[in-house]
Amino acid sequence: MTHSSQRRVVVTGIGAITPIGIGVDGLRTGLRAGRSAVTPITSFDASPFVTRIAAQVPDFDLSPYLEGKKLKRLDKFSQYAVACAKMALLDAHLDLDNTDRERVGVCLGTALGGVGFAEEQYPNFLAHGVRGVNPMLALSVFNGAGSCNVAIEVGATGPATANGDSCASSPIAIGRAVDLIRDGSADIMLAGGSEAPLSPLCFGAFAIIRAMSQRNDDPEHACRPFDNGRDGFVMAEGAAMLILEEYEMAKARGARIYGEILGHAITNDGFHMTQPRPDGKQAARCLTMALDRAGLNPEQIDYVNAHGSSTPLNDSTETSAIKQAFGAHAHTVPLSSTKSFHGHALGATGAWEAAISLLTLQDNWLPPTLNLTDPDPDCDLDYIPELEGREKKVNYVLSNSFGFGGINSCLIFGRV
Domain boundaries, the chain: 3-259, 263-414
Residue 344's closest CA among 106, 166, 127?
Answer: 166
What is the pLDDT averaged over residues 303-319? 96
Catalytic residue among 84, 307, 342, 410: 307
Q: What is the pLDDT of residues 45-56, one digit of tens each?
A: 999 999 999 999
> Do strands 21-22 and 390-391 pair parallel, antiparallel, or not at all (unpaired)?
unpaired
- On the 0-12 / 13-18 / 19+ scale of CB atoms within 10 A, 60 is middle
Catalytic residue among 107, 286, 344, 379: 344
Among 34-43, 78-87, 295-304, 387-396, the range scoring the smallest mean pLDDT is 387-396
Q: What is the pLDDT of residues 47-93, one digit of tens each?
A: 999 999 999 999 889 999 998 888 889 999 999 999 999 999 999 99
CA atoms within 13 A on the CB side of 17: 30
Q: What is the pLDDT of residues 140-183, one digit of tens each?
A: 999 999 999 999 999 999 999 999 999 999 999 999 999 999 99
Query: What single-letter amino acid sits at 376?
Result: D
pLDDT score of 1: 39
Residue 21 is given by DSSP the state E
Q: What is the pLDDT of residues 245-268, one digit of tens each?
A: 999 999 999 999 999 999 999 999
pLDDT score of 387: 72
pLDDT band (50, 70, 90) for residue 382: low
9 Cβ neighbours under 8 A, 6+ residues apart: 177, 178, 181, 182, 244, 245, 246, 247, 260, 261
Known catalytic residue at 286: no
pLDDT score of 72: 85
State how far the Cα of 130 lies from the Cα of 176, in Å rounded to an integer: 38
- Give the CATH fold of the 3-259 domain: Peroxisomal Thiolase; Chain A, domain 1 (3.40.47)
What is the pLDDT averaged over residues 304-323? 96
pLDDT score of 27: 98
| Average predicted confidence (pLDDT) for the chain | 95
- On the 0-12 / 13-18 / 19+ scale of CB atoms within 10 A, 295 is middle
For residue 236, which phi and psi values (nearest 5 degrees)? Answer: -140, 175
Query: What single-letter amino acid sits at 167?
Result: C
Q: Do 263-414 and 3-259 have the same topology in CATH?
A: yes
Cβ atoms of 190 and 150 within 8 Å: the answer is: yes
Instruction: Label each residue of 36-54 as H, E or C.
Output: CCEEECCCCCCCCCCCCEE
Known catalytic residue at 167: yes
- Give the CATH fold of the 263-414 domain: Peroxisomal Thiolase; Chain A, domain 1 (3.40.47)
Known catalytic residue at 329: no
State how far the Cα of 395 lies from the Cα of 160, in Å rounded to an integer: 31
Catalytic residue among 84, 167, 379, 410: 167
In the chain, how many H helices and how many E strands?
12, 15
pTM for this predicted structure:
0.96
What is the pLDDT averaged over residues 191-216? 97
What is the pLDDT averaged over residues 340-365? 98
What is the pLDDT averaged over residues 19-33? 97
Give how far Cα 218 sits from Cα of 31, 132, 144, 222, 320, Å: 20, 40, 37, 6, 29
What is the pLDDT averaged over residues 356-367? 97
pLDDT score of 386: 57
